[in-house]
Every structure is written in C-alpha cells, then in structure tokens.
Structure 1
Amino acid sequence: MKLSVILAPYDSGHYQSGFGQGPEALVAGGLVDALTLAGHDVTVEDIGQVGDAQEREIATGFAVCRAVGNKVGNAIDHDRFPIVLAGNCLTAAGAVAGEVADSIIWFDQHGDINTPDTSSFGFLDGMALSTVLGLCWRPMAKTIRGFRPVDPSRCLLVDARDLDPDERKLLDTLPVMRADCVNAAEKAGKLNAGGAKRTHLHLDLDVHNPDFLQVNRYAAPGGPSPEQLREAVCSIGRSVPVTGVTVSAYDPAFDPKGEVPPVTGYLLVDLVAALERI
C-alpha cells in the first residue's frame, strides 16, 4: 500500500516540545522502518512550523489543523493512505477535513469532549472531539479547508475512562456511541449500518493501560494492553471503511526505555494489513 506519514510536532501551540517531540521519536524508533519492511511505499512529510511566533495555543492549534488537512488531502489525491503522527488530539480535525470523513472512531482514555463552557482547565486539547463534532470552536474550525463536523451519531468513543463530570453530563445528551476496547469492533459496525462511508480512526496512545505501556504523564488506571488494542483496531480495519489515522499524545520523556515506538509500529503494520484485506 502507498502510505503518507505526516508529522505534526506540536503540543499546545509549541513546536517540538512535550508531546510535540512524539512524532519524530516514533519515526526515529522505527515506525516508518517497520512499515517499509512490511512492503509498503512510505513517504514522510513534516508540516514544519506554522502559526505565529507567539505560539498561541488556539491560533497555532488550528494552524496545525489547516496544514495537516492540506497534507492529508494531497496524500489522498495521490492515492496514499494518510497516517498523521500528532502531538495533540485536536489535529484530528485537520485529518477529518482532508479525508472528507463522515464518521469517527476515537480511542482515548479521556473524552476530549469538553467545551469552553464546561472546561474548568481551559485545555484546548480537552475539547478536541467536541471540535470535530461541531460542538465548539466553530468559527476556527471553519478556517480548516473542507472541514465539516461529524454528526455525533456517527462517533464511537472507545475506552474513555477518565471523564470530567460535565463531560459525562454532555455525553448523556448526545447520541455518541460508547464502547470498551473488547466490544469496539462490534459497536463500530453500527457506523456502517448508519450509512458511514469514510471513517477516521483516532488513536490517542494514552488509551493503553499504563501498567503495560505509559506514553505520557496522564495515566488513568485500566485500559487495554497493546495486544488488546491492536486486536480491536485490526478488527475495525477489516470491517469499517477507514480512510485515515491519527496517532497522538506520545511524550518520549515518559518512555525512558523507548517501548512505545515499536509497539505503535506493530499496531500500524497490522492495521494496514487488515485494511488491505477489505
């Protein structure tokens, strides 16, 4: 398969800092080599520095989305499957736009479904899924070329076990589907039944159980092992029309043994193999 690996090395508006060091660390740790050895034609692109010199979180965060959206759209125009390695989850909004995705599967230990009205921390990335679903930051999201919010009924949120109280209340009012990793593939089939044709797959690596793999400073108990996540993702890849992937939230400072890159490489190799079987 022809693949385009797109690096978006930003964390809260800061270039190559914190989570923003994750994309390059994944590549240096062998992720691209693993895909190439599996027989795929892989290109690697970095969006470079975007936004302004002040590195304002909101302005730069959406500048990253715009750059990623353009790269993803160009990859698809050249028949390449896009894999975005991102610092922040908000970047998925750009990937969704570039893919013209009409549905989304969101693996994350957090809900990322706060809004400015519900967030007590003001953390933009905690509003990432809400942005994708058109619940907040609408004027900024409109600056991403081709962005159309995903209907909440075409969203599957997987293993979100660390939710703010207001996130729980909001989710109770929305038709977002919920699943644990073990039944994610079964629930994902309902997207097909609902008419979904182009599904974006978002993988926040902190969905992993930290007893098996810690990817950043935010570690809530529970969650899948790497093998369980890989099995769920591959089952989804064999049954759902996945048009692209974002991988986010790896901070190499919390992975002193360099365990995360090879695990992520194995996951993506198996996922692409599953997609090829469709």
Structure 2
Amino acid sequence: MKVSIILASYDSGHYHGGMGQGPDALISGGLVDALTLAGHDVAVVDIGKVGDDQEREIATGFAVCNAVSGEVRIARDRGRFPIVLAGNCLTSAGAVAGEGADAIIWADQHGDLNTPETSIHGFLDGMALAVVLGLCWRPMAKAIPGFQAIDPARCVLINARDLDPAEKQLLETLPVIRTECKDAANAVETLKAAGAKRVHMHLDLDVHNPKELQANRYTHSGGPDPEQLRKAACSMALAVPLVGITVSAYDPAFDARADVPPLVGELLNDLLASIEGR
C-alpha cells in the first residue's frame, strides 16, 4: 500500500515539546523501516512549524489542524493512505477534514468531550472529540479546510474510563457508541447501521493499560494491553472503510525502554493488512 506518514509535532501549542516529541521518536524508533519491510511504499511529510512563534495553545492547535488537513488531502489525491503522527488529539480534526470522514473510531482513556463551558482544567486537548463532533469551538473548526462535524451517532468511543463529571453527563445525552475492545465487533455493527461510509480511526496511545504500556504522563487503571487493542482495531478495520489513522499522545520521556515504537509498527502493519484485506 502507498502510505503517507504526516508528522504534527506539537503538544499544547509547543513545537517538539512533551508529546510533540512523539512523532520523531516513532520515526527514529524504526516505524518507516517496519512498514517498508512489510511491503509498503512509505513517504514521510512533516508539517514543521506553523503559525507565529508565540505558541498560543488554541491558535496554534487549530493552525496544526489546518496544516494537517492540507497534507492529508494531498496524500489522498495522490492515492496514498494517510497516517498522522500527532502530539495532541485535536489534530484528528484536521485529519477528518482532509479525508472527508463521516464517522470516527476514538480509542482513548479520556473522553475528550469537555467544552470551554465545562472544562475544569482549561486543557484544549480535553475538548478534541467535542470539536470533531461539532460541540464546541465551531468557528475555528469551520475554518479548517474541508471540516464537517461528525454526527455523534457515528462515533465509537473505546475504553474511555477517565471522565470528568460533565463528560459523563454529556455522554448520557449523546448517541455515542461506547465500548471496550472485547465488544468492538458489536460496536462497529452499530456504526455501520448508522451509515458510516468513510471512517477515521484515532488511537491515543494512553488508551492502553499503563501496567502493560505507558505512553505518556496520563495514567488510569484498566484498559487493553497492546494485543487486545490491535485485535479490536483490526477487526473494525475489516468491517468498515477506514480512510485514515491518527496515532497520538506518545511522550518518549515516559518510555525509558523504548517499548512503544515497535508496538506501533506492529499495530499499523496489522491495520494496513486489514484494510487491504477488505
């Protein structure tokens, strides 16, 4: 398969800070080699620095989305499958826009469903899925080239277990499809029934059980091990048409043994094989 890996090396508006170091660490950890050895034609594109040098979290976060949307659209126009390596989860809004996705699978230990009105931490990335679903920051999201909010009924939320009270309340009112990895097959059937035609898969690496794999400073008990996530993701990729993948939130400072890069390589190779096998 022809693949474009798009690097978006930002964390909360900071270039190459914290989780913004993750994309380069995945590349230096052998990701391109792993995909190439599996027979894929891999091109790597780096959006580089965007916006001004003031590193304002909100403005820069959406500028990253704008840049990612453009690179994803270029990749798709060239017949290449886009894989975005991002520091922040918000970056998926840019990938969704560039792909014209109408559904999303969101694997994350967090709900990312806060809004400016409900957030108790003021963390923009904690609003990432809310942006994708059109629940907040609408004017800025609308400015992302190609962005169309995704209907919550076409959203699968996997293993979200660290939720703020307002997120729990919101999820009681939304038709979001909540599941754990073991029940992914049933969830994806519901997604298909909701009319999903172009599905983006968002993989926040902190969805894993931190006892099995710690990707960043955010830890909450429970969650799948790498094999469980890989099996669930691949079963969904076989069932619905994936148009792109985002891998986010890897901070190499919390991975002293460099366990994450080879596991991401295995995960992406299996996912690409599943997509080709549809």
Check whether TM > 0.5.
yes
> Does the aligned pair in 2 maintain the 1:103–1:151 contact within 8 Å?
yes
1:57 aligns with 2:57: yes
Matched with 2:168 is: 168
* 1:267 matches 2:267: yes
1-structure distance, mates of 2:112, 2:37: 35
How far apart are residue 142 of structure 1 and its match?
1.1
Name the amino acid aligned to 1:112: D
SS in 2 for 1:243: strand
Deviation by residue 1:230-267 (Cα, 9 ceiling, x = unmatched): 00011011111110000000000000100000001100
Structure 1: how far apart are the matches of 2:36 and 2:186?
31
- Corresponding letter in the other structure for 1:63: A
CA contact (8 A) 1:22 1:86 kept: yes
**Secondary structure, aligned partner of 2:117:** coil
Contact 1:185 1:233 in 2 (8 A): no
- Tell me the residue number matched to 1:26: 26
Deviations 1:1-42 (A, max 9, x none): 000000000000000010000000001101111000000000
Write the distance in 1 (CA, Å) between the matches of 2:76 and 2:189: 24
Q: Report the equivalent of 2:135.
A: 135
CA distance in 1, matches of 2:236, 2:185: 5
Post-superposition offset of 1:224: 0.3
After superposition, what is the alpha-carbon deviation per residue over 1:95-132, rounded to whole angstroms, capped at 9, x for unaligned?
00000000000000000000001000100000000000
Partner in structure 1 of residue 232 of structure 2? 232
**Aligned residue runs from structure 1 range 190-269, under 5 A:** 190-269=190-269
What is the one-letter code of the residue matched to 1:149? A
Q: Residue by residue, what CA displacement relative to the aligned partner does 1:156-199 show, whole Å, maximum 9, x if unpaired? A: 10000000011000111111110011112320122111211000
CA distance in 1, matches of 2:51, 2:107: 28
- Cα distance in structure 2, aligned partners of 1:144 and 1:249: 21
Please report the RMSD computed on the Cα atoms of aligned residues, expressed in angstroms.
0.5
Per the alignment, residue 111 of structure 1 pairs with 111
The one-letter code of the counterpart of 1:22 is G
Q: CA deviation at 1:84?
A: 0.1
CA distance in 1, matches of 2:190, 2:160: 19
CA distance in 2, matches of 1:85, 1:155: 21
Identity, % of aligned positions: 68
- SS of the residue corresponding to residue 7 of structure 1 reads strand
Distance 2:268 2:275 in 1: 10
Please name the residue that 2:39 is paired with. Answer: 39
Give, in whole Å, the separation in 2 of the partners of 1:195 and 1:222. Answer: 31
Normalised TM-score (structure 2): 0.99
3-state DSSP class of the match of 1:275?
A: helix
TM normalised by structure 1 equals 0.99
Could you tell me which amino acid in structure 2 is paired with residue 168 of structure 1?
Answer: K
Give the aligned residue type for 2:188.
A
SS in 2 for 1:4: strand
